[in-house]
Amino acid sequence: MGQVAAFAGVTVRTLHHYDKAGLLSPSERSPAGYRLYGEADLVRLQQILFYRELGFPLDEIAAILKDPQANPVERLRDRQRQLNEEIARLQRLAEVAERAIEVQKTGVPLTPEERFEVFGEVAFDLSYATEAELKWAHSAGQREAMARADAHTKEDWRRLMGEAAAWRAELLAAFDEGEPSDGGRAMDLAEEHRLHIARWFTSCPPDMHRRIADDFVADPRAFALVVPPSRQRPGLAAYLRNAVHANAARHAGDGTDREENR
């Protein structure tokens, strides 16, 4: 029994338990009373360990092994379905944990439940946020944006995200309805986005807004901050980028730079 336990990767206690439960009883004993496992016993043990690894309870394993002619395919399919459901559940939990970690980067003093309530689907990719900090570490605008984000209250974030959601709905509607990216409606939405940044984070002149919009196309993580992946459409990032560039050109053409409403 000790030898079998060693090479099978189980404990002697486990083998005793299988013996007591009638699941695996050694077929022979030595003159000294030691339990001896034959080849058929080892094959049965291998089957038991296979089903245990898949999470089958012992009574179900016993039922499967009781009839050597039985086809276990249906039981295996049921177990496969259960495992896939568990994998999906764990994946969702992993995503929740990842989002909780990422939202911490904003510095908002909220509980996890409050964060999800406020931020919803908007994804804060920690790797992108870190790279942005390194890229703009010496930028006064970046420092101002981080300082103002840290100072926002829960109610501030509710208003900010509500404003962003309403704007996002208008953007999707314009895109879905085929409005040109350089048309008045799209440019007005681009201007609203620029003023939103200025109102909540940092001054955003048209040139800066163009650089931000270029990032939407270059890095999906940046665009996910504006439109969650579940709401995105092919070409939408480029559409917004083009609208921002057209709006910036409009400002250059009329020689104005509208005041940001803080």
Residue 247 CB burial class (10 angstroms; 0-12, 13-18, ≥19):
buried
The dihedral over CA atoms of 192, 194, 199, 205, expressed in degrees to the nearest 10, equals -140
Q: What is the pLDDT of residue 105?
A: 59
Specify whether 190 is located in the same domain as 252. yes
Specify whether 35 is located in the same domain as 124. no
Whether pTM > 0.85 for this model: the answer is no
Q: What is the pLDDT of residue 126?
A: 46
Q: At what angle do helices 154-176 and 236-254 cross, to 10 degrees?
A: 100
Q: Domain ends where: 49, 81, 106?
A: 106
Q: Residue 242 sits in a domain of what CATH number?
A: 1.10.490.50
The answer to whether 261 touches 199, Cβ cutoff 8 Å, is yes
Specify whether 168 is located in the same domain as 87. no
Specify whether 42 is located in the same domain as 95. no
Specify whether 218 is located in the same domain as 133. yes
Specify whether 76 is located in the same domain as 114. no
The domain total for the chain is: 3
How many Cβ atoms from other residues are within 10 Å of residue 35's Cβ?
18
Closest C-alpha to 192, from 215, 171, 218: 171
Q: Domain ends where: 57, 85, 106?
A: 106
**Structural domain for 87, as ranges:** 71-106
- Residue-by-residue pLDDT tens, the chain, 262 positions: 888 888 888 888 998 888 888 889 888 888 887 888 888 888 889 989 998 888 888 888 888 888 767 778 888 888 899 889 888 878 876 766 666 565 565 555 555 555 555 555 454 444 455 455 545 555 676 667 767 777 778 788 888 888 998 999 999 999 999 999 999 999 999 999 999 999 988 888 999 999 999 999 998 888 988 888 888 999 999 999 999 999 999 988 665 554 443 3
Residue 148 half-sphere exposure toward CB, CA atoms < 13 A: 16
Specify whether 62 is located in the same domain as 79. no
CA gap 226, 218 in Å, rounded = 14
Query: Residue 55: left if φ>0, alpha if ψ -120 to 50, beta else—which one?
Result: left
Specify whether 154 is located in the same domain as 134. yes
